[in-house]
Protein backbone atom coordinates (compact mmCIF):
# COMPACT_ATOMS: atom_id res chain seq x y z
CA UNK A 1 0.00 0.00 0.00
CA UNK A 2 1.60 3.24 -1.16
CA UNK A 3 1.21 6.11 1.28
CA UNK A 4 2.41 9.64 0.59
CA UNK A 5 4.80 10.36 3.48
CA UNK A 6 3.59 13.97 3.64
CA UNK A 7 0.00 12.86 4.21
CA UNK A 8 0.26 9.70 6.31
CA UNK A 9 -2.53 7.15 6.59
CA UNK A 10 -5.93 8.52 5.53
CA UNK A 11 -9.43 7.26 6.24
CA UNK A 12 -9.73 5.56 2.82
CA UNK A 13 -6.45 3.72 3.53
CA UNK A 14 -7.93 2.43 6.80
CA UNK A 15 -10.99 1.18 4.87
CA UNK A 16 -8.70 -0.70 2.47
CA UNK A 17 -6.72 -2.14 5.42
CA UNK A 18 -9.92 -3.48 6.96
CA UNK A 19 -10.89 -5.20 3.71
CA UNK A 20 -7.44 -6.77 3.39
CA UNK A 21 -7.47 -7.90 7.04
CA UNK A 22 -10.90 -9.48 6.55
CA UNK A 23 -9.73 -11.25 3.37
CA UNK A 24 -6.47 -12.37 5.14
CA UNK A 25 -4.38 -10.79 2.39
CA UNK A 26 -0.99 -9.72 3.72
CA UNK A 27 -0.02 -6.16 2.79
CA UNK A 28 2.80 -3.78 3.56
CA UNK A 29 3.07 -0.02 3.71
CA UNK A 30 5.53 1.77 1.46
CA UNK A 31 5.92 5.45 2.24
CA UNK A 32 6.60 7.55 -0.86
CA UNK A 33 8.16 10.95 -1.56
CA UNK A 34 10.33 10.84 1.57
CA UNK A 35 12.54 13.60 0.13
CA UNK A 36 9.63 16.02 0.59
CA UNK A 37 9.62 15.81 4.40
CA UNK A 38 12.03 16.76 7.21
CA UNK A 39 13.77 14.35 9.56
CA UNK A 40 11.27 15.26 12.27
CA UNK A 41 8.30 14.60 10.00
CA UNK A 42 9.83 11.22 9.10
CA UNK A 43 9.87 10.19 12.74
CA UNK A 44 6.25 11.28 13.05
CA UNK A 45 4.95 9.47 9.98
CA UNK A 46 6.90 6.29 10.89
CA UNK A 47 5.44 6.33 14.40
CA UNK A 48 1.98 6.91 12.93
CA UNK A 49 2.29 3.98 10.51
CA UNK A 50 3.83 1.68 13.15
CA UNK A 51 0.73 2.33 15.27
CA UNK A 52 -1.41 0.93 12.43
CA UNK A 53 0.84 -2.13 12.13
CA UNK A 54 -0.07 -3.09 15.70
CA UNK A 55 -3.81 -2.81 15.03
CA UNK A 56 -4.07 -4.59 11.66
CA UNK A 57 -3.40 -8.33 11.72
CA UNK A 58 -2.58 -8.69 8.01
CA UNK A 59 -0.30 -5.64 7.86
CA UNK A 60 3.40 -6.51 7.59
CA UNK A 61 5.34 -4.85 10.42
CA UNK A 62 8.19 -3.57 8.27
CA UNK A 63 7.56 -0.12 6.78
CA UNK A 64 9.75 1.02 3.90
CA UNK A 65 10.41 4.71 3.40
CA UNK A 66 11.16 5.56 -0.22
CA UNK A 67 11.94 8.42 -2.54
CA UNK A 68 11.73 7.85 -6.29
CA UNK A 69 13.43 11.23 -6.67
CA UNK A 70 16.48 10.43 -4.49
CA UNK A 71 16.33 6.65 -5.08
CA UNK A 72 16.16 6.20 -1.34
CA UNK A 73 14.77 2.88 -0.11
CA UNK A 74 14.42 1.54 -3.67
CA UNK A 75 17.01 -1.24 -3.26
CA UNK A 76 15.38 -2.23 0.02
CA UNK A 77 11.97 -2.29 -1.67
CA UNK A 78 13.30 -4.39 -4.57
CA UNK A 79 14.84 -6.87 -2.12
CA UNK A 80 11.56 -7.07 -0.20
CA UNK A 81 9.59 -7.77 -3.38
CA UNK A 82 12.17 -10.35 -4.52
CA UNK A 83 11.73 -12.02 -1.13
CA UNK A 84 8.02 -12.49 -1.82
CA UNK A 85 8.75 -14.14 -5.17
N1 LIG B 1 9.81 14.81 -4.90
C2 LIG B 1 9.30 13.67 -5.32
N3 LIG B 1 8.38 13.67 -6.29
C4 LIG B 1 7.89 12.49 -6.69
C5 LIG B 1 8.29 11.25 -6.11
N6 LIG B 1 7.58 10.26 -6.70
C7 LIG B 1 6.79 10.84 -7.60
N8 LIG B 1 6.97 12.19 -7.61
C9 LIG B 1 6.30 13.18 -8.46
O10 LIG B 1 4.91 13.17 -8.14
C11 LIG B 1 4.13 13.39 -9.32
C12 LIG B 1 3.15 12.24 -9.48
O13 LIG B 1 3.88 11.09 -9.87
P14 LIG B 1 3.31 9.62 -9.74
O15 LIG B 1 4.26 8.71 -10.41
O16 LIG B 1 1.86 9.61 -10.09
O17 LIG B 1 3.53 9.38 -8.16
P18 LIG B 1 2.44 9.08 -7.06
O19 LIG B 1 3.23 8.56 -5.89
O20 LIG B 1 1.34 8.25 -7.62
O21 LIG B 1 1.96 10.53 -6.66
P22 LIG B 1 0.49 11.19 -6.83
O23 LIG B 1 -0.03 10.80 -8.18
O24 LIG B 1 0.79 12.65 -6.68
O25 LIG B 1 -0.29 10.60 -5.69
C26 LIG B 1 5.12 13.53 -10.46
O27 LIG B 1 5.35 14.91 -10.68
C28 LIG B 1 6.38 12.84 -9.93
O29 LIG B 1 7.56 13.35 -10.49
C30 LIG B 1 9.28 11.29 -5.09
O31 LIG B 1 9.73 10.30 -4.51
N32 LIG B 1 9.75 12.53 -4.74
MG1 LIG C 1 0.07 8.92 -9.27
Q: What's the pLDDT at 7?
A: 95
Report the atom number in ligand 1 closest to the C-alpha of 36.
1
Q: What's the pLDDT at 62?
A: 94
| Dist. CA 25 → ligand 2 center (Å) | 23
Report the atom number in ligand 1 closest to the C-alpha of 67.
31
Is residue 74 within 6 Å of ligand 1 at its C-beta?
Answer: no
Fold of 2-84: Rossmann fold (3.40.50)
With the most atoms of ligand 1 within 8 angstroms of its CB, the residue from 69, 71, 72, 77 to mutate is 69
Q: What's the pLDDT at 84?
A: 85
Mean pLDDT, contiguous 10-residue spans, the chain (85 residues): 96 97 96 98 95 93 96 97 91
Q: What's the pLDDT at 58?
A: 95
Contact partners, residue 17, CB within 8 Å, separation at least 6: 1, 27, 52, 56, 58, 59
What CA–CA distance (Å, rounded) separates 71 from 34?
A: 10
DSSP 37: S
Secondary element (H or E) of residue 4: strand 2-4
DSSP 64: E
Contact partners, residue 61, CB within 8 Å, separation at least 6: 50, 53
Amino acid sequence: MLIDSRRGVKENDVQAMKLLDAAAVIYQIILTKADKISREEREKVLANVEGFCKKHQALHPRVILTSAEKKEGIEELRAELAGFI
